Amino acid sequence: MAGPPGAAPPPGASPPKGAKDASLDGLVDARHAGPVAAALVASGAFTADLRMPRDQWFRWKSGILAPCGCNCRRLNAVPALRRLVDDALTDATRSSFPDADYIIAVAHAGIPWAKTVAERLDLPLAYVRTEAREPGGPLVECSPGTGARAVIIEDVVAGGSSVARAIQAVLAETGIRIAGVQSIANWNFPEMRDLLARWTVRAITSYPQVLASAHEAGMLSQADVGELLGFYADPRRHRWHSGLAGRTLLSVAFARNTCFNS
């Protein structure tokens, strides 16, 4: 299992024997991918239980149902790991988008991460609401100026619909141009690649690194990793192994008390 809160995460390792990385060239920041993946596991932000009964699986924002999930809010409870991710996100944003002069968060989960990035890079900050304050009202808050090139910050990108909606609001309501999208994790789903194909999309880490860290921590067996590699490669079409329907009292209790936002 993961180490105690506050402990330094183990160094990121290569995927377990037999695992194959997806085509993530250009998406993931290799300098930080392993340590940030380990932080997600050590903090409890990422979890997976393939023995969880199907009726207790996590429903993601994108509508996907799975026995795994990632809630980056949990990083905030572990200051050492939160700082590690803040440092990596700031460095990745600076490296990938050196000419950007605005930071825009996707509410709600992206706001605390974007605020830190904007503060450290000394850039103005705005955010995109999930819904307008009143019918017909704007979604983009903080009165951003015009002519800037903004980086959209999100915590986890799965299907990409939340980010696409934020980009649409920024383009419709402001004179700001989009430099690209930066997140802590991006699962590189096929639908995300299609939906955000027009934009430069970057992340610190993705599923091969996270699954490798979960395997090292004892959360996942080799067989579990193989199953989840297949799921993350194409979640809408993945056919789960029939043995995943087994029930345990531990997994039922765990699922009932856990909420994920992916």
Domains assigned to the chain: 33-256 (3.40.50.2020)
pLDDT of residue 254: 38
Is the pLDDT score of 12 beyond 60? no
- In this predicted structure, the answer to whether residue 22 has a pLDDT above a threshold of 70 is no
> Is residue 136's pLDDT more than 60?
yes
Rounded to whole angstroms, the Cα distance separating 134 from 115 reads 25
11 against 79, higher pLDDT: 79
pLDDT for 260 beyond 60 = no
162, 195 Cβ separation under 8 angstroms: no
What's the pLDDT score for residue 259? 45
pLDDT digit string, tens, across residues 35-73:
999 999 999 999 999 999 999 999 998 889 999 999 999
Tokens of 113: 């991460």
* Each residue's pLDDT tens digit, 163-189: 999 999 999 999 999 999 999 999 999
Q: What is the average pLDDT value for the chain, to the nearest integer?
A: 87
Proportion of the chain above pLDDT 90, given as a percent:
79
Confidence tier at 140 by pLDDT (50, 70, 90): very high
* Cβ neighbours of residue 181 closer than 8 Å, sequence gap 6 or more: 151, 152, 154, 157, 163, 167, 196, 199, 200, 201, 202
Residue 21 has pLDDT above 80, yes or no: no
Residue 94's nearest CA partner among 186, 179, 4 is: 179
**What is the pLDDT, as a whole number, of residue 61?**
87
Residue 246 pLDDT > 70, yes or no?
Answer: no
**Residue 151's pLDDT is what?**
98
Q: What are phi and psi of 243, to 5 degrees?
A: -70, -5
